[in-house]
Amino acid sequence: MTEPNYPQVRITPTRFLNPETTEILLEKVFAVGGIRRMVLNGPNLPATVPYGPARGAPNPHEYRRTIKVCGEDFELRVHVGDILLELEDESVIPAIKEACDAVFADKFPYGFGKGRFMRSNFTLSDYAKYGVVEDDRILGMSDPKSKQRPMIVQGTK
């Protein structure tokens, strides 16, 4: 049997997004529906200093906040630079592009590309981290260094 080939898109703003803009964009994108998986890429914003003489001390950062996405609280642990989306089908791509245009209209340019940006297969790291996984949306989403599981957000449609 062949696995379904889900389309993927990458939204790449020319700047890192602040939490307010990230929240607005994610709300508009999730309102479109048809999203299977999403990854927010960017530099890590650790809660404590990870190395050096201040190791373990609190690391306050104005962009490490809790945002609300689809009615659920979501702790933003990265300074968002790229947003990767895996979609149910290609019919929602124009609506997602329109949502991005609405958010980034007069602020700054962004890139919008279609292709393969995230793994879709179960990997050895996934198995070592999570064991046997019932929910296939988690496959290929493992970060071996992370101490937290990926968050699953139910879309509005």
pLDDT in tens, 22-44: 999 999 999 998 998 888 889 98
Q: Does residue 53 lie within any of the structural domains?
A: yes
Write out the residue range of the structural domain in which residue 23 sits.
8-118
User: How many distinct structural domains can be found in the chain?
Assistant: 1
Instruction: Name the residue type at position 81.
Output: G
Q: Does residue 143 lie within any of the structural domains?
A: no
Output 142 or 120, whichever has higher pLDDT. Answer: 120
Q: Does residue 140 lie within any of the structural domains?
A: no
The DSSP code for 33 is -
- Residue 42 — left, alpha, or beta (φ > 0 → left; ψ -120 to 50 → alpha)? left
Classify each residue of 90-107 as buried b or exposed e, where b means 16 or more C-beta atoms within 10 Å of its C-beta.
Answer: eebbeebeebbeebbeee
Q: Does residue 112 lie within any of the structural domains?
A: yes
Q: What is the pLDDT of residue 75?
A: 86
Q: CA angle, corner 68, sides to 64 and 71, nearest 5? A: 160
136 falls in which pLDDT band (50, 70, 90)? low
Tokens, residue 72: 């659920």
Residue 148 has pLDDT above 70, yes or no: no
Q: What is the pLDDT of residue 87?
A: 92
Q: Does residue 1 lie within any of the structural domains?
A: no
19 falls in which pLDDT band (50, 70, 90)? very high
Q: Does residue 144 lie within any of the structural domains?
A: no
Q: Does residue 92 lie within any of the structural domains?
A: yes
Least confident of 28-32, 104-108, 128-132, 148-152: 148-152
Q: Does residue 39 lie within any of the structural domains?
A: yes
Question: Residue 22: which CATH number?
Answer: 3.30.70
